Amino acid sequence: MTKGCLLNSPIMPVEKTIHVNLNLEEAFRLFTEGIGSWWPLDAKHSLNESEVKSCAFECKEGGRIYEIHKDGSQFTWGTVHVFNSPNFFLTTWHPGNPEKLATQFEVHFSQTEEGTTVKLTHYGWEARGDKGQEYRDDYNSGWDFVLGKYINTANSHSG
């Protein structure tokens, strides 16, 4: 289920590499356990902006990433397939869609002298059929915005 299986894929993965001023464990914990503190819950990054209260990440294989509405209802965004704290996780991704339309993304965390490098790779666009390239292009810019929120939150915690 890693990108190596998709070398013959006609749609290139989205790859993003960022740096945060947190140590490895803190960076991983913020991205996963702390997702509700930084994930943008606007109309483009949630299923129902007016009803959404938060989002959560269940930190285990088989765990969910999901949206929580004000009435307590939950909507799955993806399922965690590999959880290797604090270095790596792999999840399916299908917010608002059936699981058969899931893409996958994986995130690697590496300690540096100045903090942590975070590398996200999002792939499997073929699951989206004829619109795969369109989804890939949308997520390419979308991840810049989302990861910008993560960077801002991480760096505000480091100082």
Would you say residue 71 has pLDDT above 70? yes
Mean pLDDT of 53-63: 97
Structure tokens at 52: 């959404």
- Fold classification of 13-158 is Alpha-D-Glucose-1,6-Bisphosphate; Chain A, domain 4 (3.30.530)
Please report the pLDDT score of residue 22 as a whole number. Answer: 97
Q: Residue 141 pairs with which residues in a beta bridge?
A: none
Q: How confident is the model at residue 1 (pLDDT cuts 50, 70, 90)?
A: very low
Per-residue pLDDT at 32 exceeds 70: yes
Greatest extent of the chain over all pairs of C-alpha atoms, in Å: 46
Cα–Cα distance for residue pair 93/78, rounded to 1 Å: 4
pLDDT at 76: 96
pLDDT at 2: 46
* d(C-alpha 46, C-alpha 56), whole Å: 12
| Portion of the chain with pLDDT greater than 90, in percent | 86
Residue 3: pLDDT band with limits 50, 70, 90: very low
Q: Which residue has the higher pLDDT, 37 or 42?
A: 37
Q: Please give the residue that has the higher pLDDT: either 2 or 88.
A: 88
State the chain's mean pLDDT as an integer: 93
Cα separations (Å) of 82 from 38, 62, 66, 90, 104? 22, 8, 17, 5, 11
Give how far Cα 137 sits from Cα of 2, 28, 104, 114, Å. Answer: 20, 26, 15, 31
Could you tell me the two tokens for 59?
Answer: 């930190």
Please, which pLDDT band fits residue 8 given cuts at 50, 70 and 90? low
Instruction: Please say whether the beta carbons of 40 and 145 come within 8 A.
Output: yes
49 pLDDT above the threshold of 90: no
Per-domain residue ranges for the chain?
13-158
Cα–Cα distance between 73 and 106 in angstroms, integer? 26
Q: What is the pLDDT of residues 88-139, one digit of tens each?
A: 999 999 998 999 999 999 999 999 999 999 999 999 999 999 999 999 999 9
Residues 44-59 have a mean pLDDT of 93
Supply the pTM of this predicted model. Answer: 0.92
